[in-house]
Amino acid sequence: MKGGGLMTAQIGPTDGLRAPGTTTITVLRGRVRYRDEGHGTPVVLVHGIGRSLEDWIELHNLLRGRGFRVVSVDLAGYGESEPLQVLHDLPALAHFLADFAEAVGIREPAHLVGNSLGGAVAMQLSAQAPERVRSLVLANSAGFGRAVALPIRLMSVRPLGRLLLSRPSLASARRVELSFFHDPALATDDRVHLGYRLALRPHGTRVFLETAGSLGTILGARAAWRRALLAAVVARRVPTLVVWGDDDKIVPFAQLGAAGRYLPYARTHLFPDTGHMPQIERAEEFADLVTGFWAGAGTAAPAAEDRT
């Protein structure tokens, strides 16, 4: 590939950013990559659409020594995990996450932390298997509104999405990484190379388009699944913290206000000068915020939004 790209053969599994200490396990007849460190109450970190557990490296490292068993996982069909044999929609991904937790021996309820799509998967799991969920931390999560960036909406149109994903390049990977951050310096060469490597997965296009098409249209996120999911989450009143970055170019931060209305018992927090991945851009603040929330999860009264 010319003009800013690399030949597929030149990108190997260890090129670019890659989380240390990962291993694999078989879940639903597919190999799943994950990282499991620390001891204590389990915390499961769930990435967004088209992403991988590398989005949690900073938070994983900060939490593992604070009395938690921290588990980051590549969702089925994403990162280096093999795809499912069914449609990669929200219920299937939540079912996968429940089976993964069982496979790695997480027997007690876990704190779930989800970014973007991962937030919706975490909420779905709390609806499908509430006994597995101790609390929810939802970072710039899908599910609270229709608005989403145009590139994601285009992926819901199968022929167009397939065309847009058919020619990955380092240039397109860099544009994607830049869209996630307020600070462009965080779109490092390592992150760009990782994004490019993930875009080359043979099943990647199919999995991405299945998920995007099940959740949205060219107009944005479908209302039906959002209403049903939020109603189920409200009914269970799982302790919930919703956080957002005020410069999110993927899912507008106005949806933080919607989250507060839909989940009136939830805590909310807005990070200034922060994009779609506050767990990277504000890692230490994020870690302090969630550990403080977990210390009182299930015992404290609902708190008003705080801003720092």
Instruction: Please state, rounded to an integer, the average pLDDT across all residues of the chain.
Output: 91
Q: Are the beta carbons of 195 and 176 closer than 8 angstroms? A: yes
**Angle 170-179/189-199 helices, nearest 10 degrees?**
120
Question: What is the distance between the alpha carbons of residues 137 and 114, in angstroms, rounded to a whole number?
Answer: 6
pLDDT digits (tens, 9 = 90+) for 45-79: 999 999 999 999 999 999 998 999 999 999 999 99
**How far is residue 287 from each of residues 57, 58, 244, 246, measured CA to CA in Å?**
12, 9, 14, 18
Q: What is the pLDDT of residue 302?
A: 38
Beta-carbon contacts of residue 289 (< 8 Å; ≥ 6 apart):
241, 243, 269
Beta-carbon contacts of residue 300 (< 8 Å; ≥ 6 apart):
none
Asked if the model's pLDDT at residue 11 lies above 60, the reply is no
Question: What is the distance between the alpha carbons of residues 218 and 156, in angstroms, rounded to a whole number?
Answer: 6
Taking residue 190's Cβ as centre, other Cβ atoms within 10 Å add up to 14
Q: What is the pLDDT of residue 304?
A: 38
The mean per-residue pLDDT over the stretch 30-39 comes to 97
Residue type present at position 184:
P
pLDDT digits (tens, 9 = 90+) for 213-271: 999 999 999 999 999 999 999 999 999 999 999 999 999 999 999 999 999 999 999 99
Between residues 210 and 164, the one the model is more confident about: 210
Sign of CA dihedral 82, 229, 137, 179: positive
* Stated length of the chain: 308
Percent of the chain with pLDDT over 70: 91
Q: What is the pLDDT of residue 163?
A: 85
Residue with tokens 């900060």: 62
Q: What pTM, to 2 d.p., does this model score?
A: 0.91
Asked if the model's pLDDT at residue 13 lies above 50, the reply is no
- The residues facing 111 across adjacent strands are 43, 135
Q: What is the pLDDT of residue 15?
A: 55
Read off the tokens for 204: 């990647």
pLDDT digits (tens, 9 = 90+) for 155-190: 888 888 888 888 899 999 999 999 999 999 999 999
pLDDT digits (tens, 9 = 90+) for 133-161: 999 999 999 999 999 998 889 888 888 88
Question: What is the distance between the alpha carbons of residues 242 and 222, in angstroms, rounded to a whole number?
Answer: 20
Q: Which strands form 110-115's sheet, in the order they lie side by side? A: 22-27, 30-37, 68-73, 41-46, 110-115, 133-139, 240-245, 267-271, 306-307
CATH superfamily, domain 21-147+223-307, is: Alpha/Beta hydrolase fold, catalytic domain (3.40.50.1820)
Domain boundaries, the chain: 21-147+223-307
pLDDT digits (tens, 9 = 90+) for 267-298: 999 999 999 999 999 999 999 999 999 998 74
pLDDT band at 16 (very low <50, low <70, confident <90, very high): low
Quick one: which of 145, 131, 118 has its CA closest to 259? 145
